[in-house]
Chains A and B, each alone.
Chain A
Amino acid sequence: MRPTADESPTLEVYHSPGLEAALRVVRAGGGDRVLDLGPAVSANLEFLSSSARHLRVADLLSDHQERDEADAAGRGLLVDPAWGPFDLVLAWDVLSYLEPEGAAEVVASITEACSPGACLFALVTITKEATDRSVVFVVRDGTTLEYRPAPARQRHLRSAKPAAVQRLLAPFRVERSFVLRNGFQEYVAVLE
Chain B
Amino acid sequence: MWKKGELEEGPGAVSPAAQPSSRQTAPTGGRREPATIGPSITIKGEVSGDEDLMIQGKVDGTVTLHQHNVTIGQEGRVKADVAGKIVVVEGEVEGDLRGAEQVVLRRSARVKGNISAPRVSLEDGARFRGGIDMNEAGAKASAPAVFPADHSSRGREAKASGGTVDAPKGEASKA
| Candidates A41, A143, A174, A178; contact of B165 at CB < 8 Å | A178
| Interface hub of A15, A17, A42, A54 (most chain B Cβ within 10 A) | A42
Q: Which residue of B lies closest to A35 (CB)?
A: B131
- B18 interface residue (CB < 8 Å to A): no
How close is A65's CB to chain B, nearest CB, in angstroms?
A: 11
Cα distance A27–B145 in the bound complex, in angstroms: 9
Task: Please give the number of chain A residues whose Cβ is less than 8 angstroms from any Cβ of chain B in the complex.
Answer: 49
- A105 interface residue (CB < 8 Å to B): no
Q: How large is the interface on B (under 10, 10 to 19, 20 to 34, 35 or more residues)?
A: 35 or more
Cα distance A53–B151 in the bound complex, in angstroms: 22
Digit string of A42-73 for contact with B (CB within 8 Å is 1, else 0)? 11011001111111111100110000000000
B132 touches A14 (CB 8 A): no
Chain A interface helix/strand/loop/mixed: mixed
Residues in B128-150 with C-beta less than 8 Å from chain A = 128-134, 139, 142-143, 145-150
Residues in B149-175 with C-beta less than 8 Å from chain A = 149-151, 154-155, 157-159, 162-175
- A83 interface residue (CB < 8 Å to B): yes
Cα distance A179–B146 in the bound complex, in angstroms: 27
B165 touches A179 (CB 8 A): yes
B123 touches A176 (CB 8 A): no
On chain B, the residues within 8 Å of A41 by CB distance are 122, 124
On chain A, the residues within 8 Å of B157 by CB distance are 15
A180 touches B146 (CB 8 A): no
- B120 interface residue (CB < 8 Å to A): yes
B150 touches A57 (CB 8 A): no
- A166 interface residue (CB < 8 Å to B): yes
A42 touches B11 (CB 8 A): yes
On chain A, the residues within 8 Å of B11 by CB distance are 42-43, 46
Digit string of A80-91 for contact with B (CB within 8 Å is 1, else 0)? 000100000000
A166 touches B150 (CB 8 A): no
B129 touches A15 (CB 8 A): no
A144 touches B154 (CB 8 A): yes
Q: Which residue of A lies closest to B138 (CB)?
A: A49
On chain A, the residues within 8 Å of B129 by CB distance are 40, 57-59, 62-63
On chain A, the residues within 8 Å of B120 by CB distance are 45, 49
A162 touches B171 (CB 8 A): yes
On chain A, the residues within 8 Å of B7 by CB distance are 46
A177 touches B172 (CB 8 A): yes
Q: Which residue of B lies closest to A124 (CB)?
A: B172
A57 touches B132 (CB 8 A): yes
Query: Given A15-B158, A141-B151, do A181 and B127 touch, yes or no (CB 8 Å)?
Result: no
- A20 interface residue (CB < 8 Å to B): yes
On chain B, the residues within 8 Å of A46 by CB distance are 2, 7, 11
Given contacts A17-B158, A50-B143, 6 further A-B contacts (CB under 8 A): A40-B126, A42-B122, A45-B132, A46-B2, A46-B11, A50-B1
A-B contacts, 14 listed (Cβ < 8 Å): A15-B155, A42-B122, A42-B124, A51-B143, A56-B132, A57-B128, A142-B148, A142-B151, A166-B170, A176-B170, A178-B164, A178-B166, A178-B172, A181-B175
